[in-house]
Amino acid sequence: MFGVDALTLLSAGALAFALLTYVMLDGTDLGVGMLMGINRRPEQRQVMLLSILPIWDANETWLVLGGGGLLALFPLAYAILLPALYVPFLLMFMALLVRAVGIEFREHLPRKGMGDALLLGGSLLATLCQGVALGTLLQGVPHKAGQYNGNGWEWLGSFPLLCGLALVAGYLWLGACWLYWRSEGDLHQRSRRQARYLSLLALSLLAAVLICTLGVDQRYWQRLSEPWIAGPSLASVTLLLLGYQLAWRSRWHCLPLLMALGVVAVAFALMLLALFPLIIPPDLSLAQAASSPTSQTFMLVGFAIIAPITLAYNTLGFRVFAGKIRAPDARSE
Amino acid sequence: MFEAADAGAALLAARAQFAITISFHIVLAAFSIGLAQWLLVLEALWLWRRNQHCLDLYRYWLKIFALTVAVGTASGLVMEYQFGLNWSVLSVKAGEVIGPLMFYEVMVAFFLEAGFLGVMLFGLNKVGPRLHFLATCAVALGSLVSAFWIISANSWMHTPAGYSLAGDGRFLAEDWWAIVFNPSFPYRLTHMLLAAMLGTATMLAGAAGWHLLRQPGNPRARLQYSMALWAIALLAPVQIIAGDLHGQHTLQVQPIKVAAIEGSWTRPPAGAGEPLRLFAVPDMAEQRNHFEVAIPRLGSLYLTHDLSGTISALDEFPRADLPPVAIVFYAFRVMVGLGVLMAALGLASLLLRWRGRLWHARWLQCASVALAPAGFVAMLSGWIVTEVGRQPFTVYGLLRTADSLSPVAAPKVIWATLAILLVYTLVFGLGLWLLLRLLGKPPGPDERSPAPALSEET
């Protein structure tokens, strides 16, 4: 299909799976980190932190997998993309490092507010950089003879920044839905209200990104307007949003989050469909960037065996800490 | 696109950036590996003997483990992308070979570690002791397996094997078994894992020594002190043997590195043997040493295991292939010097134990405190020896460092490197301060787990 062999297609699928899992999992806890900005009461912040404390590390590991996977499966894409995104990527790494410090050191810091500020700032900057990186990829990266040859500032345009803002809104939305699920009492109610506003914000920004994306490259418009893509995606988004509205009445408090994650997954799928068969627009295809069949086979066999096991014990890790988190009483502090 | 002088500055800044990010990360990673095994032993002893002191120590060190391991994930994330940010030509050429090894590190090891970390840190009261012990085992195993894969990738770049060269200079994987178990891999893995354990053991002995100086009767500090000193007494001699074997192998595959370690510019006359240079100031420009202090023939003893053998000297190789000799020369002496001190500490503890004076010898407690960082300083020095010693190549003998660089303008690389240095200094400085503050308080009875609110709520 489109000149891409089955093996490369599988490799692309594995990588896309890792990235989407990262966006859905870590996106949610980055959103919780950013929500520290609008939920200021210490006991609420404590609950927010506790809800992500045991799992954020495993969530972030999917991004580590993305790095190793891109280098191994599509070395040419890795080598072109990272120099092009030198500044946003390094900012993102520093932000994630600071965020890790905010989460893990918080308990021992003389002032908890310091940890919260690091978590908030780190989450915001990291999310912004991730959105900018996706935007830069979509608008195309200049390269020649297998190496990046732009000026290094393509990411500082209006389209990548719009994508950054959209991702911030999207992660905030996920974060609010997560807190609605995992908290009770006042924070639960607040998160419900916040999720409503944030869903409107996120959806309008995502729509703006979609419209701008269609203008970035003629081929995106051609691809996404094909009926076999436009039809099902419109239908699924409509259904998901309908479900999202109804979900607030359900006694399953995880439903709004699941619906929101569904919307994010559809948006992600649309992005990949628009790009296919390219890995880096305007002209680097998956097939050109792929590593040799020996390397791909070596990894895909491992991925097929290990990924299900990984998902199984990660689910176990989630389940151990599932359920509502109560605000700790004053005595335990 | 960018000029020659610019390229020189970018190269230096990119190398500095890698050196900074890997140095901070490797100490954290090694400490995590060592602590994970230590916690595993403690929990096993607790389950087996129901010794409450073990559980108290477990909880005490779990808080410290939480500090190191999570920040280790974030600093490890940076490493996963360093190759693309600054070494994009290396990534294109060698990505198909080293990329899969890094991919497997994440798949097999990091997920195992991170997936069970939450349960290990916060779940003791939630899942019960058996499942919790399983989580501790998974984290400990994950940390060892991650060392396996990343050392394999590193070793392959020192002793590439199992590959073929494509027309455009890319390395293509041919034989994965030969790639993973490349010639220097067993030596490096053994040496590094022992270094991680030994570094952790000196930290544990130092912390316990500090507490015993203040509370001589604290049973938890005594237990930790005794276990750590056993580990040092057993591991330090093994490490010296492993190091010697690694050195013998390096002499075969990277003779230039060994010549730089020895500071040997010219080969001694036949039969004279290699001297052991205790001190010298190697001079790259004049290709000789200043202020040399050496013991004749002793070098031959550990290099060729006799008194008259000689090795290839630096002047027998092309000048363009020489590493920065002085750094390699000094770093090696720091590593070996500290190694000998640690072995002496272990030996002294055995003698005192034999004479039943282990708890009364305050001087040994002071020595343990002084040597607390010795293991990790020695480990870092060892990495400097091996990584600076393989310059000017990234893939040894095949791809030069200068030809591996990304096309990023020099000012950007320099500013990024400075910014990283600043952030790392602040983050690790804060971490070290918290670590010392936690370690300043001796382990007491009924230690709490990290984030008690999380583990106690139902």
Q: For residue B78, list chain A residues with Cβ-Cβ distance below 8 A.
A: 93, 97
Q: For residue A78, list chain B residues with Cβ-Cβ distance below 8 A.
A: 83-84, 88, 91, 95, 99
pLDDT of residue A112: 82
Contact A71 B457 (CB under 8 A): no
Query: Which of B116, B174, B458 faces A313 most closely, judged by CB atoms?
Result: B116
Q: For residue B69, list chain A residues with Cβ-Cβ distance below 8 A.
A: 57
Residue of A nearest to B66 (CA): A104
Contact B85 A307 (CB under 8 A): no
Contact B104 A54 (CB under 8 A): no
Q: For residue A82, list chain B residues with Cβ-Cβ distance below 8 A.
A: 81, 84-85, 88, 91, 406
Contact B84 A105 (CB under 8 A): no
pLDDT of residue A110: 79
Residue B404 lies in a domain: yes
Residue of A nearest to B118 (CA): A54
pLDDT of residue B369: 94
Q: For the segment B3-55, what is each residue's pLDDT rounded down to a tens digit?
A: 556 778 889 999 999 999 999 999 999 999 999 999 999 999 998 988 888 88
Contact B437 A108 (CB under 8 A): yes
Q: For residue B85, list chain A residues with Cβ-Cβ distance below 8 A.
A: 82-83, 86, 89-90
Residue B303 lies in a domain: no
Contact B84 A71 (CB under 8 A): yes
Q: Cα distance from A329 to chain B (closest Cα, Å)? A: 9
Count CB pairs under 8 A between chains A and B.
Answer: 253
Residue of A nearest to B90 (CA): A79
Contact B431 A101 (CB under 8 A): yes
Residue B64 lies in a domain: yes
pLDDT of residue B29: 92
Query: Which of B80, B115, B416 faces A317 most closely, judged by CB atoms?
Result: B115
Q: For residue A147, list chain B residues with Cβ-Cβ distance below 8 A.
A: 88-89, 92, 406-407
pLDDT of residue A217: 85
Q: Residues with Cβ < 8 Å from B23, sequence gap 6 or more?
A: B380, B383
Contact B92 A64 (CB under 8 A): no
Query: Which of B81, B103, B138 faces A299 most closely, judged by CB atoms?
Result: B103
Residue B284 lies in a domain: no
Query: Which of B91, B111, B416 faces A78 most closely, judged by CB atoms?
Result: B91
DSSP H helices, A36-157, are 42-52, 56-73, 75-84, 86-105, 112-139
Residues in chain B, pLDDT under 70: 1-5, 451-458
Neighbours of B397 (CB within 10 A): 14
Query: Which of B95, B412, B420 faces A78 most closely, judged by CB atoms?
Result: B95
Contact A310 B107 (CB under 8 A): yes
Query: Which of A83, A294, A316 faces B406 most closely, judged by CB atoms?
Result: A83
Contact B104 A299 (CB under 8 A): yes
Q: For the segment B423-457, what is each residue's pLDDT rounded down to a tens digit?
A: 999 988 988 998 998 898 888 887 777 766 665 54
Q: For residue B89, list chain A residues with Cβ-Cβ distance below 8 A.
A: 79, 147
Residue of B nearest to A148 (CA): B407
Taking all residues of chain A, what is their mean pLDDT, rounded to a whole number? 90
Interface test with B, best of A74, A76, A104 (most B CBs within 10 A): A104
Q: For residue B1, list chain A residues with Cβ-Cβ distance below 8 A.
A: 149
Q: Cα distance from B82 to chain A (closest Cα, Å)? A: 9
Q: Which residue has the higher pLDDT, A4 or A194?
A: A194
Contact B67 A295 (CB under 8 A): no
Contact A97 B78 (CB under 8 A): yes
Residue B290 lies in a domain: no
pLDDT of residue B287: 84
Residue B240 lies in a domain: yes
Q: Cα distance from A261 to chain B (closest Cα, Å)? A: 21
Number of domain units in chain B: 1
Question: Which three-class secondary structure string do you get for chain B?
Answer: CCCHHHHHHHHHHHHHHHHHHHHHHHHHHHHHHHHHHHHHHHHHHHHHHCCHHHHHHHHHHHHHHHHHHHHHHHHHHHHHHHHHHHCHHHHHHHHHHHHHHHHHHHHHHHHHHHHHHHHHHHCHHHHCHHHHHHHHHHHHHHHHHHHHHHHHHHHHHHCCCCEEECCCCCEEECCHHHHHCCCCHHHHHHHHHHHHHHHHHHHHHHHHHHHHHHCCCCHHHHHHHHHHHHHHHHHHHHHHHHHHHHHHHHHHHCHHHHHHHHCCCCCCCCCCCCCEEEEEEEECCCCEEEEEEEECCHHHHHHCCCCCCCCCCHHHCCHHHCCCHHHHHHHHHHHHHHHHHHHHHHHHHHHHHHCCCCCCCHHHHHHHHHCCCHHHHHHHHHHHHHHHCCCCEEECCCEEHHHCCCCCCHHHHHHHHHHHHHHHHHHHHHHHHHHHHHHHCCCCCCCCCCCHHHHHCC
- The most distant pair of C-alpha atoms in chain A lies apart, rounded to whole Å, by 65
Which domain does B66 fall in, by range? 4-267+311-456
Contact A78 B84 (CB under 8 A): yes
Query: Binning pLDDT at 50, 70 and 90, where does residue A333 land?
Result: very low
pLDDT of residue B121: 87
Contact A320 B105 (CB under 8 A): no
In angstroms, rounded to a whole number, what is the distance separating the alpha carbons of residues B236 and B335? 12
Residue of B nearest to A46 (CA): B453
Q: For residue B91, list chain A residues with Cβ-Cβ distance below 8 A.
A: 71, 75, 78-79, 82
Residue B231 lies in a domain: yes
Contact A93 B453 (CB under 8 A): no
User: What ipTM goes with this model?
Assistant: 0.88
pLDDT of residue B456: 53
Contact A65 B107 (CB under 8 A): yes
In angstroms, rounded to a whole number, what is the distance separating the alpha carbons of residues B169 and B150? 23
Q: For residue A98, list chain B residues with Cβ-Cβ distance below 8 A.
A: 423, 427
Q: For residue B399, list chain A residues with Cβ-Cβ distance below 8 A.
A: none
Which pairs with CB-CB distance under 8 Å and at least 24 residues apart come from A221-225?
A223/A273, A223/A274, A223/A276, A224/A270, A224/A273, A224/A274
pLDDT of residue B4: 58
pLDDT of residue A330: 41
If you average pLDDT over residues A145-154, what whole number do you get? 86
Contact B412 A64 (CB under 8 A): no
Neighbours of B41 (CB within 10 A): 16
Contact B116 A317 (CB under 8 A): yes
Residue B288 lies in a domain: no
Residue of A nearest to B454 (CA): A50
Q: Cα distance from A42 to chain B (closest Cα, Å)? A: 14
Interface test with A, best of B106, B120, B177, B441 (most A CBs within 10 A): B106
